[in-house]
């Protein structure tokens, strides 16, 4: 029997991806079905449902599930789930679809799934704003009072995404037909939950932590991973390889940088470098919960949560992504509560007087002695061609990232927020 944490939801890994003759038959059927064009976000969601990453989800959420997730952090049946996983559709297409119909879900000319419609429900502007307030509103300066609706529609990518969704949501179970480009483009890095579990089992791990990455890996990330290795059997460095926002560093460049870091500064047997196919939702603390939820399916029982995890601008409190774990429902029945626990770590940095990596819990010195580390700060310096402060990153990694930036013909301005700059320390 496995010593790893059980998949979320109490049903084992729920995988909607078809194989062999069943796949061929469904692909032939899909060619004759009404096709609905889906977003990159929905494509990632489908792949995660296909490989079991979103267990126990087997399709897109009903209105009851959507409402309960937004309000209560649970599906309608009481299973913990922190963010909506919905499929939007324009009204003209929705009017031509009825409950019980089967449709094909297509992105960029590829049919990723078929779906049996159980329900369709309107999403008014009021519904979208309500979802935004429930899912994206935080405790930071940009969420205070009227600030949220003054700033978020222009500057919060998650809010912009929801407000731009089409008028109707479609609900129903799916059969997934493709994993897209990920198995080939990220061979050896794109790993399914079954594959990571097999790796952990082979290494004899039972207490496993995950480090979430969407930025290049700097000294603070390295320090967090090594703290986790000290108290767990090993760590999964798990990078988002789906879509990010303009100005972020492409996944292949970030993955290569992690490989360089592992090669030179880690005991390789204690770390796994992998990626997962989602787009960022930029949901701050709620996204931290989502990261823990699907990591449980990958065999992870400890999720590293540091400063401003999955944060956007100054919408969230620096450690709101940690405290939210203390506010979520913890019951609901067998397997329905979240079992992946947060590994809460304070703000980390390099201290010149300590002569090493430290945190607010261990370093007694003034902030003038500290090198504030953040992915945003690193991206801005690299994008601007500025000097990288000593001890910010490993030389081999900085050299790799500089080569990428030097090859760019167009650059996107990287905005700094208080948390990334160190002003709020």
Residues 127, 56 share a domain: yes
Task: Give the integer Cα–Cα distance in Å for 269 and 79.
Answer: 35
Residues 308, 343 share a domain: yes
- Determine the 3-state secondary structure of 370 from DSSP: strand
Instruction: Determine contact, residues 411/383, Cβ cutoff 8 Å.
Output: yes
Q: Is 301 a catalytic residue?
A: no
For the stretch 86-118, what's the b/e string if a residue is b when 16 or more beta carbons lie within 10 angstroms of its beta carbon? bbbbeeebbeebeeeebbbbbbeeebbbbbebe
Strand order in the sheet with 356-359: 356-359, 348-351, 370-372
Instruction: Name the catalytic one among 107, 169, 197, 214.
Output: 214
The arithmetic mean of pLDDT across residues 406-419, rounded, is: 65
Indicate which CATH number applies to the domain containing 223. Answer: 3.40.50.620
Range in 159-163, 270-274, 388-392 the model is least confident about: 388-392
Task: Give the integer Cα–Cα distance in Å for 145 and 151.
Answer: 11
H-helix or E-strand spanning residue 104:
strand 102-107
Residues 254, 380 share a domain: yes
- Tell me which residue range forms the domain holding 108: 20-182
Q: Is residue 108 part of a domain?
A: yes
* Whole-number CA gyration radius for the chain: 21
Instruction: Determine contact, residues 197/12, Cβ cutoff 8 Å.
Output: no
**Tens digit of pLDDT for each residue in 49-84?**
999 999 999 999 999 999 999 999 999 999 999 999
How far is C-alpha 255 from the chain's CA centre? 15
For the stretch 142-171, what's the b/e string if a residue is b when 16 or more beta carbons lie within 10 angstroms of its beta carbon? bbeeeebeebbeeebbbbebbeebbbbbbb
Task: Give the integer Cα–Cα distance in Å for 192 and 183.
Answer: 10
The arithmetic mean of pLDDT across residues 237-256, rounded, is: 84
Residues 197, 155 share a domain: no
At residue 415, the pLDDT reads: 60
Task: Give the integer Cα–Cα distance in Å for 209 and 306.
Answer: 13
Task: Give the integer Cα–Cα distance in Å for 100 and 170.
Answer: 12
Q: Is residue 9 part of a domain?
A: no
Residues 125, 254 share a domain: no
Residue 380: pLDDT band (50, 70, 90) is confident
Indicate which CATH number applies to the domain containing 40. Answer: 3.10.400.10
How far is C-alpha 157 from the chain's CA centre? 14
Instruction: Determine contact, residues 208/4, Cβ cutoff 8 Å.
Output: yes
Instruction: Name the catalytic one among 107, 169, 215, 301.
Output: 215
Q: Is residue 12 part of a domain?
A: no
Residue where one domain finishes, among candidates 152, 182, 212:
182
Task: Give the integer Cα–Cα distance in Å for 59 and 195.
Answer: 22
Closest listed residue to residue 196, CA positions, set 298, 90, 101 = 298
**Mean of pLDDT over the chain:** 93
Instruction: Determine contact, residues 259/233, Cβ cutoff 8 Å.
Output: no
Q: CA separation (Å) from 198 to 52, 169, 239, 344? A: 14, 36, 19, 27
Residues 48, 29 share a domain: yes
In this model, does residue 420 exceed pLDDT 60?
Answer: no
Residues 171, 208 share a domain: no
- DSSP strands (E only) in 277-316: 302-305
Q: Is residue 3 part of a domain?
A: no
Residues 258, 218 share a domain: yes
Structure tokens at 51: 């490989």
Residues 146, 249 share a domain: no
**CA-based angle 105:186:56, to the nearest 5?**
50
How many C-beta neighbours within 10 Å does residue 125 have?
9
For the chain, report the end-to-end CA distance as a whole number of angstroms. Answer: 46
Closest listed residue to residue 316, CA positions, set 131, 83, 143 = 143
Residues 122, 223 share a domain: no
Q: Is 215 a catalytic residue?
A: yes
**Tens digit of pLDDT for each residue in 285-305?**
999 999 999 999 999 999 999
**Tens digit of pLDDT for each residue in 96-143?**
999 999 999 999 999 999 999 999 999 999 999 999 999 999 999 999
Residue where one domain finishes, among candidates 164, 182, 200:
182
Residue where one domain finishes, among candidates 154, 182, 210:
182
Q: Is residue 157 part of a domain?
A: yes
Partners of 90 in the beta sheet?
none
Q: Is residue 338 part of a domain?
A: yes
Instruction: Determine contact, residues 345/21, Cβ cutoff 8 Å.
Output: no
Structure tokens at 260: 């360089």
Residues 116, 259 share a domain: no
Percent of the chain with pLDDT over 70: 95
Question: How many domains does the chain fold into?
Answer: 2
Residues 138, 25 share a domain: yes
Range 71-77 contact pairs with CB under 8 angstroms and sequence separation of 24 or more: 71/134, 72/329, 73/289, 73/328, 73/329, 74/329, 74/332, 74/336, 77/336
At residue 413, the pLDDT reads: 60
At residue 374, the pLDDT reads: 76
Q: Is residue 1 part of a domain?
A: no
């Amino acid at each position: 029997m496995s010593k790893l944490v059980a998949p979320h939801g109490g049903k084992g890994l729920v995988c909607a991806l078809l194989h062999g003759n069943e796949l061929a038959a469904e692909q032939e059927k899909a060619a004759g079905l009404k096709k609905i064009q889906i977003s990159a976000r929905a494509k990632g969601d489908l792949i995660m449902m296909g490989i079991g990453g979103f267990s126990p989800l087997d399709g897109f959420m009903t209105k009851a599930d959507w409402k309960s997730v937004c309000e209560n952090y649970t599906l309608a049946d009481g299973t913990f789930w922190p963010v909506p996983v919905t499929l939007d559709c324009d009204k003209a297409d929705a009017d031509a679809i009825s409950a019980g119909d089967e449709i094909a879900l297509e992105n960029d000319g590829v049919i990723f799934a078929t779906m049996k419609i159980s329900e369709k429900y309107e999403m008014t502007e009021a519904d979208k704003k309500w979802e935004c307030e429930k899912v994206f509103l935080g405790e930071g300066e940009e969420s205070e009072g009227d600030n949220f609706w003054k700033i978020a529609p222009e500057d919060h990518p998650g809010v912009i995404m929801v407000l731009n969704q089409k008028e109707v949501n479609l609900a129903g179970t799916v059969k997934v037909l493709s994993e897209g480009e990920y198995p080939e483009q990220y061979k050896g890095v794109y790993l399914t939950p079954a594959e990571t579990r097999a790796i952990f089992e082979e290494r004899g791990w039972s207490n496993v932590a995950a480090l979430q990455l969407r930025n290049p890996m700097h000294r603070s990330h390295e320090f967090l991973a090594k703290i986790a290795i000290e108290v767990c059997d090993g760590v999964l460095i798990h990078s988002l390889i789906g879509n990010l926002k303009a100005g972020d560093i492409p996944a292949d460049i970030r993955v290569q940088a992690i490989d360089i870091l592992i090669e030179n500064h880690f005991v390789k047997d204690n770390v796994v470098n992998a990626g997962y196919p989602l787009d960022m939702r930029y949901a701050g603390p709620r996204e931290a919960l989502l990261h823990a939820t699907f990591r449980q399916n990958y065999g992870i029982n400890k999720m590293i949560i540091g400063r401003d995890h999955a944060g956007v601008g100054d919408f969230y409190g620096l450690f709101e992504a940690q405290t939210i774990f203390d506010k979520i429902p913890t019951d609901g029945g067998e397997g329905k509560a979240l079992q992946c626990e947060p590994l809460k770590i304070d703000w980390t940095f390099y201290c010149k007087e300590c002569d090493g990596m430290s945190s607010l819990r261990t370093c007694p010195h003034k902030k003038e002695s500290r090198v504030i580390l953040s992915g945003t700060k690193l991206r801005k310096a690299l994008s601007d061609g500025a000097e990288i402060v000593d001890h910010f990153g490993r030389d081999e990694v900085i050299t790799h990232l500089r080569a990428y930036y030097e090859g760019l013909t167009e650059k996107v301005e990287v905005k700094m927020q208080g948390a990334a700059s160190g002003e709020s320390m």
